[in-house]
Structure 1
Amino acid sequence: MNADLIGYIAATLTTVSFFPQALKTLRSRDTQSISLRMYLLFTAGVTFWSIYGWMVDDGPVLLANLITLVPAVIVLSIKLSSYLKNERQL
């Protein structure tokens, strides 16, 4: 089996596994149980993996992380918005 094929299968599985939680968060807007620090680190990590994939011309790494980055940024934005709104109420 081709190494790129294995990479694309792995990328598909890990990327798809992220979407149910992201969709649930988008629908409910409930981010109370999500750690802001974790999501900041996760989104930064996905960003750097995307840059890495582009720099070393690794299609599976680049594609998976670019796809994951979109909902990660959206969920992080919702979390930050909720966090800032709660901070203002204090």
Structure 2
Amino acid sequence: MNPIEVLGLAAGALTTTAYLPQAVRTLRSGSARDLSLAMLLLLITGIVLWLAYGALAGLPAVVAANAATLLLTLPILWVKLRRG
């Protein structure tokens, strides 16, 4: 693995891990009231586009980071839509 790929993986790991506390808090409390639905929809759309870009460009670090971030943000959206 080259240093640029390691840098990408490290950046992806840090930015993805940043969503973990929010996901845990939202799922534990059952509320996403303080989160904007528009923000969540824009964020998830961007994540999906980055995921597609990474896949099409053959960038595993981009794919891995955005796939993991998507898995953390979709439950937050689910709580927001179901319980506010």
| TM-score interval (norm. to shorter) | over 0.9
- Aligned position for 1:87: none
Residue 45 (1) aligns with residue 46 (2): yes
CA offset at residue 82 of structure 1? Answer: 2.3
- Structure 2: distance between partners of 1:70 and 1:54: 16
Corresponding pairs, count: 83
- Structure 2: distance between partners of 1:45 and 1:69: 10
Contiguous gaps of at least 5 residues in structure 2: none
Which has the higher Rg, Structure 1 or Structure 2?
1
Identity of paired residues, percent? 35
- Structure 1: distance between partners of 2:42 and 2:13: 21
User: RCO greater where, 1 or 2, for CA within 8 Å and sep 6 or more?
Assistant: 2
CA offset at residue 22 of structure 1? Answer: 1.0
- Structure 2: distance between partners of 1:77 and 1:18: 15
- Structure 2: distance between partners of 1:47 and 1:27: 25
When normalised by structure 2's length, the TM-score is: 0.93
Report the RMSD for the aligned CA atoms in angstroms. 1.1
- Structure 1: distance between partners of 2:4 and 2:72: 27
- Structure 1: distance between partners of 2:65 and 2:23: 15
Q: What pairs with 1:1-80 in structure 2 (closer than 5 Å)?
A: 2-80=3-81
- Structure 2: distance between partners of 1:49 and 1:23: 23
When normalised by structure 1's length, the TM-score is: 0.87
Task: Tell me which amino acid in the other structure corresponds to 2:28.
Answer: R
Task: Tell me which amino acid in the other structure corresponds to 1:21.
Answer: Q
